[in-house]
Amino acid sequence: MKKVLASLLSGIFFLAIYTTAFAAENRPTILYFGVEAVVNEGLEGEYIVKTKGGQTEEGFVFTPPKPFTNENLKFLITIKGKGIVILKVEETNARGQYIKEGKLEIELTPEWTTHEMTFTLESPSSQVDTSVLTKNKEKAEFSFKNLQVIEE
């Protein structure tokens, strides 16, 4: 009886581990993290951002997944919408401590427009977060595609 119970418990244990591991593999990767906003994927690589309007600087954050080998970066994005947004690049160290940031204010248009912003890191080993955030405290909706952070 003890052997049967031990075998049964072992089977349940392995099944639980397998199910958890399998579920983690199927979980979607979040590329764009909403900041008081919802980010949904649209058609053909387009993303739609809808902010709540409760505060300024609502939108989304993107963290490039690969480390950099150079201090000079370029943040590129194709975007359309209405209103004014801020392109932001923020640099932190490995401990998450703020180093510096750069901002570029742009006025959105109904047509797709590509914007670029250059930024020089203190160190290529730094963590980089890029954002597109609202300037004003109001509900906003804008779309973007082709977001890139490249080394120059």
Q: What is the CATH number of the domain that holds 46?
A: 2.60.120.260
**Which of 52, 61, 58, 42 has its CA nearest to residue 145?**
42
What pTM, to 2 d.p., does this model score?
0.78
In a domain, 45, yes or no: yes
Q: Containing domain of residue 34, as a range? A: 30-151
Residues forming beta bridges with residue 35, ordered by sequence position: 59
In a domain, 16, yes or no: no
- Note the pLDDT tens digit of each residue in 33-82: 999 999 999 998 999 999 999 999 999 999 998 889 999 999 999 999 99
pLDDT of residue 6: 46
In a domain, 5, yes or no: no
Count of the separate structural domains present in the chain: 1
- Note the pLDDT tens digit of each residue in 57-67: 999 999 998 88
In a domain, 121, yes or no: yes
Q: 23 φ, ψ to 5°? A: -65, -40
In a domain, 118, yes or no: yes
Please give the C-alpha separations between residue 52 and each of 1, 84, 128, in angstroms, as whole numbers.
60, 15, 25
Helices (H), 81-149: none
- Note the pLDDT tens digit of each residue in 79-131: 999 999 999 999 999 898 999 999 999 999 999 999 999 999 999 899 999 99
pLDDT band, very low/low/confident/very high, at 28 (cuts 50, 70, 90): low
pLDDT of residue 67: 86
pLDDT for 12 beyond 50? no
